[in-house]
Amino acid sequence: MIANRLSPMPSFSPFRRKVRRSLLIEINPFQVLAAGLRQNNGGPTLIDCAAEFAVEDDAGLGAWLDEKFGAQRAWVPAIGSIAPAEAVLRRENLQLRKLAEAGYLGGLLKELRRIPQPEAWTLAALDPLAGTPLAPGGTAHPGLLLGLANNDIRSFQQRLLDHRLLPHRIELGILPLLGAISGLTDWRQERRATVVVVIEQEHTTAYIIGKEGLHTPAAVPHGFASIVQAVRKEFGLGDAGEVRERLHQADDELLLRATKFVRAIGRDLKPLVDSYEMTTGQPVGEIYCAYLPPALQWIAEPLAQTMQRPALQLDCPAWLPTVGLQPADDLPPLGPHWLGALGLVSTPAGPEEPPAGAAAGPVPWRVDCRLPAQLPNSRLAGRRFAAFALCGALAAFALTLTLWQWYVIRSLDADTGFWNGKIASNQKLFNELIRATSSLRSQSARFDDAYALMQKPPPATDFILDLGRSLPPNMQVDRIESTGGRMAMRGSLREPPDQSSRTLGRYLEELRRTPAIGPLFSSIALTALQRANDSDDSLAFEITFTLAEPGGARP
């Protein structure tokens, strides 16, 4: 979404209602900062409460909001900022005459960042010196390309709505921070450039505010992860919990080695700062590390020393009155890491209302990135009626659905009873059919087995063929069985008894002499001989073959 609506800021102020309080909230890479705001009778904006939470501590934020804003049952106006790592803020030469074209900024973003769908981003073009939107028309001019993914905006909006916070303004967090730094340098009448360093997890970005406006060098490939790795290696720590605990203990031992931990980041940033000085001729002064919580503020000083520059020293209580802000008497002093959050509502002239009938001009370093189509209607009075109407419609729908389900269940019960009766009346026939089918299946299986045996006769091995070659003419083999180390061959011989004995003896001798049979067995003997029946000369015999042991000899 190319946000032409971002040029002028809306004239509505969350402080116009005298009895309603507002919330200031910033989600940065390290923390969630939240503060309650109240307009003090047309004077400076009063900060009556403030708290800090971990980024994932949504429950803690909700409990604090219930405590501080529980009596305010309506929606609480909120001014917020986010600082996602994928956001874009780059100085480029822009063709001002093309700013009116819907796809110009999107095409530029796609070319610079390889983003496949730039239409899913909120984009704006700003003057790098004044921080105000650039007007279409004219020749090429240096400008700031600002981009924020709609998914990040949508997620932040939903998080606010879940806490009954109505977004009045949503901004890219680095922009009001740069505006606050720019105002601070003007207040101090500082002639040197100021470097704002944002340490992300995997990279670090430097923003240089100088006489030619904002410069945005390329990010360096070392971030907070490099500090964690250096601390883990230096102190021999194991898991991430131990490293996190050590980083939050800024004792003398840690501070003594601090320069070593930030050396990789400072080594990459220093050439960027030196290059700026050589290009513009303006010296660089102080270094400000953005978003660092109090437990990690020790990083700023050694990082500035590595870059051979002084660290920015900010007296926040002394600075607040100069930008129209006043802390409550019982509010603890706010640290320098609040500079970006307070920049959302700070103004050197204080929060003044525009004259009646006058159009609100653009506010420097402010870009509202809300997605209004996904926000609740500003007329919240009618929401209760809509909620009741919706509840009534849901109740009517639920009643209709219940009656329809009751009718369907009754119909199904009647149909089930009818078919159960039909099944019971035909149960006997079904049982007979099942028995007949089972009998037929059993008989068919027997025929199938017999047919399979007929189609596949038993194989004739070389041993059986050798037995058959020397078989006497009147001898018939009925069965060959094998058990363990023995084999028995049973059959019949149709000869007279005296002749049968001689025939069997010759057959046994021939088997023992056969090279393919004799060496395999330790003994080949006739173990049974008897008459098969009383009516003929047939004799039943049994010859036993005993297998020879390996390496043994047949006697």
Q: Compute the Cα dihedral for 161, 165, 170, 174 and give only its sign.
A: negative
Sheet containing 284-289: order of strands: 213-215, 204-210, 193-199, 284-289
Percent of the chain with pLDDT over 90: 40
Asked whether the predicted pLDDT for residue 11 surpasses 50, the reply is no
Cα–Cα distances in angstroms (integers) from residue 415 to residues 410, 429, 455, in the given order: 9, 22, 53
* Domain 189-312: CATH architecture, name and number where available: 2-Layer Sandwich (3.30)
User: Which single residue is written with the structure tokens 């904002």?
Assistant: 214
- Which tens digits make up the pLDDT trace of 308-334? 999 998 888 888 888 889 898 899 999
Q: Which are the contacts of 356, defined by CB distance < 8 A and separation ≥ 6?
A: none
Average pLDDT over residues 410-436: 87
pLDDT of residue 554: 47
Average pLDDT over residues 237-261: 88
> Cα separation of 306 and 268, whole Å?
10
- Both tokens assigned to 358: 């006058």
Query: Residue 129: what are its φ and ψ, rounded to 5°?
Result: -95, -45
Cα–Cα distances in angstroms (integers) from residue 416 to residues 157, 402, 407, 409, 427, in the given order: 53, 21, 14, 10, 16
Taking the CA atoms of the chain, what radius of gyration do you get in angstroms? 48
- Which tens digits make up the pLDDT trace of 476-498? 888 888 887 888 988 888 888 77
pLDDT of residue 9: 40
Residue (of 396, 288, 279, 381) closest to 340 by Cα position:
288
Query: Residue 179: what are its φ and ψ, rounded to 5°?
Result: -65, -40
Under a CB-based contact definition with an 8 Å cutoff, are residues 121 and 106 in contact? yes
- Both tokens assigned to 410: 């009754």
First to last CA, the chain: 104
- Which tens digits make up the pLDDT trace of 201-231? 999 999 999 999 999 999 999 999 999 999 9
Q: Which residues pair with 33 in a beta bridge?
A: 26, 52
pLDDT of residue 15: 46
Cβ neighbourhood burial of 537 (10 Å; 0-12, 13-18, 19+): middle
pLDDT of residue 385: 52
Segments making up each domain of the chain, as ranges: 189-312, 383-417, 462-547
Asked whether the predicted pLDDT for residue 170 surpasses 50, the reply is yes
User: Which single residue is written with the structure tokens 């700070």?
Assistant: 346
- Residue 64 DSSP SS3: helix
> Cα separation of 90 and 388, whole Å?
48
Topology of the domain covering 462-547: Gyrase A; domain 2 (3.30.1360)
- Which tens digits make up the pLDDT trace of 434-443? 888 888 888 8
Average pLDDT over residues 417-436: 86
User: Which single residue is written with the structure tokens 């970006």?
Assistant: 340
> Cα separation of 78 and 25, whole Å?
7
Length of the chain: 555
Under a CB-based contact definition with an 8 Å cutoff, are residues 361 and 8 in contact? yes
For 18, other C-beta atoms within 10 Å of its C-beta total: 9
> Cα separation of 468 and 462, whole Å?
10
Q: Which are the contacts of 244, defined by CB distance < 8 A and separation ≥ 6?
A: none
> Cα separation of 123 and 105, whole Å?
7
> Cα separation of 3 and 7, whole Å?
8
Element (H, E) at 525: strand 521-531
- Residue 382 DSSP SS3: helix
- Both tokens assigned to 387: 């909620």
Asked whether the predicted pLDDT for residue 361 surpasses 80, the reply is no
Element (H, E) at 63: helix 58-69
Residue (of 72, 65, 45) closest to 349 by Cα position:
45
Beta-sheet pairing, 88-95 with 140-149: antiparallel
pLDDT of residue 17: 45
Under a CB-based contact definition with an 8 Å cutoff, are residues 351 and 38 in contact? no
pLDDT of residue 459: 64
Residue (of 258, 256, 273) closest to 307 by Cα position:
273
Examine domains 189-312 and 462-547 and report if their fold is the same. Answer: no
- Both tokens assigned to 16: 């116009």
> Cα separation of 140 and 13, whole Å?
35
> Cα separation of 57 and 245, whole Å?
18
Q: Return the HEC string of 156-213.
A: HHHHHHHCCEEEEEEEECHHHHHHHHHHHHHHHCCCCEEEEEEECCCCEEEEEEECCE
Kindly report which listed range (263-272, 369-378, 390-399) carries the lowest average pLDDT score. Answer: 369-378
Asked whether the predicted pLDDT for residue 274 surpasses 60, the reply is yes
